[in-house]
Amino acid sequence: MNILLTGSAGFIGGYLSKALMNEGHTVTGIDICHDEQQSSLCNFFISDIRDKSILRRAMKGVDLIIHLAAKLEDFGISREEFFAINEGGTKNILDVASESGVKRFIFYSSVAVYGPGGADESAKPLPIDDYGRTKLASEEAVKAWVDEDDSRMALVIRPTVVFGAHNYANVYRLMDAVIKRKFIWIGDGSNIKSLAYVENLVAMNLFLLNRMKPGFEVFNYSDEPYMTTRQIVEKIAKYAHVPNPRLEISLFIAKLGGVAMDLASNLAGVDLPMRSIRIRKFCAQTYYESNKVRQYGFKQPVLLDEGLEKTVLWYLQIREKNDTTINVTNKLSRKSPCEQNEAIPP
């Protein structure tokens, strides 16, 4: 199958493009930046998804579109930019798909469409931030596209926090704090945190790709078994051979510190690590069920424990190579879209 993959230079895109080619598919990539892995793609276009002329060139002869590209940062992005890229870019891709006669579409959304807490696919979406709202608006655009033609088929994949080697976002920051013994407990850590190891998410995508049918379907994805924040932190410490964190502060003090960090971030224009939104996310319950895809017969190939261990080992390896947190922080502060292709739950 000839597949167009948007966001192909991102974290998930890198894993997915390789897996698709290993399955014998021809992959064309499109992203606003480039990295070494893109040389293995049959075609690659450096472009913004708002450029329809490039989309038309990239979509020639395509059978399926997998749409990953999106803005997702929680700092320094305006509401207008979120909607212009996430919703507007998705509509551009759908418009060109209609022109090109493409009938198959897979859209990577996020559990952020549900809002805080947890949900399965039957829950009504209630996003609380611009990222979640743009993902929901994009889903609605995909559904409208499917409704225009009975032969069209679309899948929406809503992953929770995605982690693995080569990702420098949420789970990386947590590992970095635990392993460098800078982690401080806020609360008792009993809140469930749904996670998705990247290799499992990609396997789920391949599983569903081979079962597409006319119409519109939505699938959550999170790994099992579900773990609490305390269990995740303790496993990171175990695999890194460091002591379990003991230092604690009250939620009230943490919130005050978060407000101070927010002010400093806004004044300096710098994305500081411990802002209010991240404190809220850390303490929140994020229990997103993905029973639907398992009822279809999917079995995650990598145990969550194993995924955490592999990611910790990767972290330790890059530290040995002096790929330090300072360099990573600088990358994130520049908001490289290739570094941050990760679904962020509320």
DSSP string, 97-140: HHHHT--EEEEE--GGGG-SEEE-TTSPP---SHHHHHHHHHHH
Average pLDDT estimate for 104-127: 93
Averaged pLDDT score across all residues of the chain:
87
Q: Which residue has the higher pLDDT, 42 or 82?
A: 82
The identity of residue 325, as a single letter, is T
φ/ψ of 136, rounded to 5, equals -65, -40
Q: Sorting pLDDT into bands at 50, 70 and 90, what band is 335?
A: very low
Q: What is the pLDDT of residues 154-183, one digit of tens each?
A: 999 999 999 999 999 889 999 999 999 999
Q: What one-character DSSP code corresponds to residue 326?
A: H
Q: What is the pLDDT of residues 201-244, one digit of tens each?
A: 999 999 999 999 999 999 999 999 999 999 999 999 999 999 99
**What proportion of the chain, given as a percentage, has pLDDT over 90?**
63
Which pLDDT score, from 0 to 100, does residue 277 have?
A: 64
Average pLDDT estimate for 135-141: 97
The identity of residue 72, as a single letter, is L
- Name the residue ranges covered by the structural domains of the chain: 2-163+195-221, 170-193+226-287+303-333
Residue listed under structure tokens 């570094």: 339
334 has pLDDT over 50: no
The fold of 2-163+195-221 is: Rossmann fold (3.40.50)
d(CA 233, CA 171): 10
CA distances, 69 to each of 4, 11, 151, 221 (Å): 12, 11, 25, 18
The identity of residue 216, as a single letter, is F
Which pLDDT score, from 0 to 100, does residue 319 have?
A: 86
Which pLDDT score, from 0 to 100, does residue 265 have?
A: 67
262 has pLDDT over 70: no
Q: Which residue has the higher pLDDT, 256 or 244?
A: 244
Which pLDDT score, from 0 to 100, does residue 337 have?
A: 46
Average pLDDT estimate for 259-284: 67
Q: Which residue has the higher pLDDT, 257 or 134?
A: 134
Q: What is the pLDDT of residues 221-231, one digit of tens each?
A: 999 999 999 99
Instruction: Locate all alpha helices (DSSP H) within the chain, ordered by sequence.
Output: 11-22, 52-58, 79-82, 88-100, 130-147, 170-179, 198-209, 229-240, 251-268, 276-283, 291-295, 304-320, 325-333
> Could you tell me which of 334, 180, 330 has the C-alpha nearest to residue 245?
180
Bridge-based pairing of strands 43-46 and 26-31 is parallel
Q: Sorting pLDDT into bands at 50, 70 and 90, what band is 300?
A: very high
d(CA 193, CA 187): 14
Which pLDDT score, from 0 to 100, does residue 53 have?
A: 94
The fold of 170-193+226-287+303-333 is: UDP-galactose 4-epimerase; domain 1 (3.90.25)
Which pLDDT score, from 0 to 100, does residue 150 have?
A: 96
> Could you tell me which of 216, 220, 269, 209 has the C-alpha nearest to residue 109?
220
Q: What is the pLDDT of residues 12-71, one digit of tens each?
A: 999 999 999 999 999 999 998 876 666 667 788 988 899 999 999 999 999 999 999 998
Q: What one-character DSSP code corresponds to residue 39?
A: G
> Which of 105-109, 121-125, 191-195, 264-268 shows the lowest per-residue confidence on average (mean pLDDT)?
264-268
Contacts of residue 195, defined as CB under 8 A and 6 or more positions apart, other chains included, come to: 160, 161, 163, 171, 222, 223, 227, 232, 304, 307
Q: What is the pLDDT of residues 310-328, one digit of tens each?
A: 999 999 999 888 655 445 5
